[in-house]
Structure 1
């Protein structure tokens, strides 16, 4: 069976497997790394869902058996790769996907082809020896891949999530989080949501929702809100928008409250942050 793969370096590697004429066992070592699987089945008529995408966070020593598959792309990455080759605002936009413990999606042929082309471009760039900035290029391509996946999930209603009801609650919360900040930027939301507001959006008691989010992600809703607010603020501070307007756009009715919030989480004022950017 033809197999192509890159070395795991700079926190990233990519495998390509094709030609599954008989069952094939893929051995995975125990790791804390993240992985993305893009899978195409052979027989279109036999399976309702021919195109599959899986995300996994960490694995134990295991063997995954494949039968009747046409081709598979397997991407492996860790936090070093994200921190070094992905901008912080991009990471915050797609972190809800990267940090999924296990997510399995039946995807459209259109999305499959889009992601397949990105994977081919990734493999081409990473296979060039001694190429300057090749991992920066790969970082941008991986970002584009996750944005395509993010938009697909937000547009799709019937998502096949492998785990439990808690995973569905978590994904709904992350969607609501993204949508709320989009509404803030567009002036459609009058104030910054608190925990109780997210509970109301999902028809859950705030304490119950907080318990689920903490269990699934290891951090409370308040941390998600703070991190997202800071991420949005930094993006806006990279523009020419006045700080006063940024404060209002993010639901702060007083600039002083926004400045105090920003400094408490970054140890620097919004104006000083902007000055550092422009230096």
Structure 2
């Protein structure tokens, strides 16, 4: 899969541009997008290349037919299908009929900043490695349709409160998904040994950075610490994570560090020096350089821009 491994996209606009699909309706200013696939796939049938997105996807098929592939999972999409994937999986899809199929994509940062700061604690099914699709009756599906159409309306409305409104509506959407499908779901107990290793690592990573952000612990974990917690050799853990998710363990840790840093800069008045310390940096200058390397902005400028956008 050498050529296919190069098809890694950080957002939907990047993916659509690469695939030669219209991307004008996708706002670059937010890590969130929603649209009816009918407006994108004007020529059918359509078969995508194999790719790996670094964002969450939610598909709501009111009226359409096709086929989805996520890693080893292959299924037909029919009216009433609801399906989602999280970052790191290899995917492809084809469509041969589309009337109303809404796709929502969003980043982990958007989830934490606008939906729920403890998003994976409240909705653990989002950590599921591979999720089986669900097909609902038309009455049950209509409950979700009302929500995603409201979200779409707000997405088209470029108000100063757009992300907050979308975030609150998305909480309701996730609660409905939890109510219908995953009320008692615990992703840690699903799958084979490798899958359990990945899920436990994700759970630990999320809890550890939440505790760091809340100031409950002082030391950032190393790969060795995550390995020791599961009684594994660090090289073995690293190999399992890379093979199963497509991302090195260091990338998972980096992305989590940046996500938590963004959340703290946006949602608190904690001094940048204190944020650096909480996230395991001995010097605030090291944190500032690290943050700028991965976001293009210094922590100071990132916070100023957020304040200006919300004031």
Q: What TM-score comes out, normalization by structure 1 length? A: 0.59
Query: Is the contact made by 1:190 and 1:251 (CA closer than 8 Å) also made in structure 2?
Result: yes
Q: Which residue of 2 aligns with 1:250?
A: 279
**Structure 1 residue matching 2:131: 3-state secondary structure:** strand
Cα distance in structure 2, aligned partners of 1:147 and 1:231: 23
Q: Which residue of 1 aligns with 2:302?
A: 273
Q: Which residue of 2 aligns with 1:223?
A: 251
- Cα pair distance change 1:243/1:209, threshold 3 Å: same
Cα distance in structure 2, aligned partners of 1:160 and 1:216: 16
The partner residue of 1:119 within 127, 130, 144 is 144
The partner residue of 1:168 within 196, 199, 210 is 196
Query: Is the contact made by 1:183 and 1:189 (CA closer than 8 Å) also made in structure 2?
Result: yes
Query: Is the contact made by 1:122 and 1:138 (CA closer than 8 Å) also made in structure 2?
Result: no
The partner residue of 1:77 within 103, 111, 121 is 103
Cα distance in structure 1, aligned partners of 2:182 and 2:273: 34
The partner residue of 2:260 within 232, 237, 261 is 232
RMSD: 4.9
- Cα pair distance change 1:243/1:165, threshold 3 Å: same
Select the structure of larger CA radius of gyration: 1
1:89 shift after superposition: 4.2
Cα distance in structure 1, aligned partners of 2:220 and 2:297: 21
The partner residue of 1:201 within 212, 216, 229 is 229
Query: Is the contact made by 2:127 and 2:187 (CA closer than 8 Å) also made in structure 1?
Result: no
Task: Give structure 1 stretches of 5+ with no counterpart.
Answer: 1-5, 18-25, 38-52, 63-73, 107-114
Task: Give structure 2 stretches of 5+ with no counterpart.
Answer: 1-34, 41-56, 135-139
1:206 shift after superposition: 1.0
Between Structure 1 and Structure 2, how many residues are aligned? 226
Q: What TM-score comes out, normalization by structure 2 length? A: 0.54
1:205 shift after superposition: 1.1
Which deviates the most, 118-127 or 179-188? 118-127
